[in-house]
Amino acid sequence: MSHQSDLIAEDISAYLEAHENKSLLRFITCGSVDDGKSTLIGRLLYDSKMIFEDQLDALETDSKKHGTQGDQIDFALLVDGLAAEREQGITIDVAYRFFSTDKRKFIVADTPGHEQYTRNMATGASTADLAILMIDARKGILTQTRRHSFIASSLGIRKLVLAINKMDLVEYDEAIYNNIEQDFLEFAQELNAGIEIQAIPMSALAGDNITSNSANTPWYSGPALMEYLETVPVGDERMAAPFRMPVQWVNRPNLDFRGFSGQIASGTIKPGDRIKTLPSAKETTVERVVVHGGDLKEAVAGQSVTLTFADEVDTSRGDVICAASEPAEVADQFQARILWMSDDAMLPGRRYIMKMGSKSVTALVSGLKYQIDVNTLQDKPGKTLALNEVGVCTLGLDQPIAFDPYDINRETGGFILIDRLTNNTVGLGLLDFALRRAGNIHWQALDVDRETLAEQKEQKPAVLWFTGLSGSGKSTIANALQKKLYSMGKHTFVLDGDNVRHGLNRDLGFTDEDRVENIRRVSNVAKLMSDAGLITLVSFISPFRSERRMARNMMTDGEFVEIHVDTPLDVAEQRDVKGLYKRARAGEIKNFTGIDSPYEPPQSPEITINTVNSTAEEGADQIVKWMQDKGFFS
């Protein structure tokens, strides 16, 4: 038995060696539901096996000796198996499959056609060289067809196979094929320039025009699908691009070795090359290119290596090592295209985690310039993005990053957005360019700093953030607290929700989007007042935890004090000093917190004040005592 296993291992080794030096084509199958993606992949896997069957004779012969028919794959069963995966929900993730012919190796990303899984199609397309866009000849071009075409072209795919499938169900009608091809070519004029489109009439189930031209379509003179896939040029753009390598980790197994490890995103590198690390912009020379088993004379895009430098250069995880003569850009504000991938809408003004390569930073989506209609590819106005919608936004980061525009380098221009609370991926983005002001605005150092200003006032700066329902007593308590602090000789200022809306935020309404922007602006003002050494009292409903967290993260550690004015809705509604609850119940006020807009109470506030059982004066005393205990007063 061991001898037979050795033979099989030798056959596998010989097979892998025969295929090692072949070119690799990564492609994706996409399109609408039931257009035949699984059937096509089943056909490709089955027919490609037949193409290199002679290389598997030893394996097949051995399996037959032991009474199995493992290599005699039934095509219908294979297709059924792929379809079964869809039924079981496996296609929520992208399924990658490998196959090979005697001319080329292939990796295909099998992605679902359902609209709710558009995010998975985008994941597969992000690393593909080519897309096979499936179209049911009976249905023609659908919304999902357009959406997938747009996403594929936006993600840098420049070769597209228009697979007009199920031609057997329309009697191989040439006119139907021509009409679909013409409709798509008209639509494709709005896609990114430079896309090559090859239309092929086919029946994945019957095998028409898959591995060879079919007698059922004598009017078609183009290549069969497999012929096209085997011969389409795969120019490695990454190899020709300037050298880029994001640092994944700093490798220091002992005091005598310090290297920087990662996968080369583009270009080539060899000992003696001059490099620059970003964002620090420090330059040095590559001393060694190390891989498992020894050093390389040269490494290329796609290889994982460890670089050592001739000089001590401060380089950390997330930094980008670049060719010194052609470095990446560095900025902290951008225009970007975003595909939204969450059921919860994207709200401008909300902060997310932006992950690009091994670098993670905090990103503020500061504005949505416009949405992109996937049917017409035209711009349209919008304030937010819903699931599967695409828009052009402006991003602001909490620190500069190294990048290339996505259209120049897919590896260093693409990113994902992650929800800071759930840690779910909510968006896929492509950087277009840095905003000019990002490079032109620099922080001005001042001799009189925030510590000096606070010391002058004999107090520690603080942002006392009052949150609670309308009518809970926030403003009343803040007013009482300010009087007490004033009598103690403390320097304070109150930012009240209603007062701020008379000036700074008079242009904002009460939608979720406007509420987020309302808090963003107030948080920045509170930060400036904190820098001035003041004790700032902020009285806002601020219904969303994520925005209160955003405000906290803007402040110096220990300065943000969340005060939950905890009043039940029924009690606040009974008070209704301003008559707002009555109007909201009557439908006269929309998006009113507690009625038709949610309030998310704090989970662990520094202070909780129950106004049902205590007065405003007692609440103010409670806060003063807490501040004294925490050392806010000198």
Q: Is 453 helix (H, G, I), strand (E, B) or coil?
A: helix
At 51, the amino acid letter reads I
Sign of CA dihedral 309, 314, 317, 323: negative
Residue found by looking up tokens 């470095």 in the block: 327
Q: What are phi and psi of 454, to 5 degrees?
A: -70, -40
Measure the CA–CA gap between 267 and 35, rounded to whole angstroms: 38
From the CB of residue 230, how many other CB atoms can be counted at a distance below 10 Å? 20
Q: Of the residues 149, 203, 542, 597, which is catalytic?
A: 542
Q: How many helices (H) and strands (E) does the chain have?
A: 18, 28
User: Is 542 annotated in the active site?
Assistant: yes
Residue 109, amino acid: A
285 and 312 Cβ atoms separated by less than 8 Å: no
DSSP E strands, 190-243: 196-201
Backbone angles phi, psi at 295, to 5 degrees: -100, 155
Please name which of 185, 136, 124 lies closest in space to residue 32, comparing C-alpha atoms. Answer: 136
Q: Give the whole-angstrom CA distance, residue 225 versus residue 164.
A: 11
Distance, CA of 486 to CA of 483 (rounded, Å): 5
Q: Which amino acid appears at position 218 of this protein?
A: P
For 545, the token pair is 């935890």
- Residue 620's H or E segment, with its range, is helix 616-629
Of 574, 519, 583, 580, the closest CA to residue 552 belongs to 519
Task: Tell me the CB-side half-sphere exposure of residue 171, using CA atoms within 13 A.
Answer: 2
> In the beta sheet, which residues pair with residue 568?
none
- CB atoms under 10 Å from CB of 284, counted, come to 18
Nearest to 200 by CA among 166, 170, 233: 166
Q: How far apart are CA 414 and CA 406, in angstroms?
A: 6
Q: How many beta carbons lie within 10 A of that of residue 403, not counting itself? A: 27
Which DSSP symbol is given to 302?
T
Give the Cα separation of 400 and 406 in Å (integer): 17
User: Known catalytic residues?
Assistant: 542
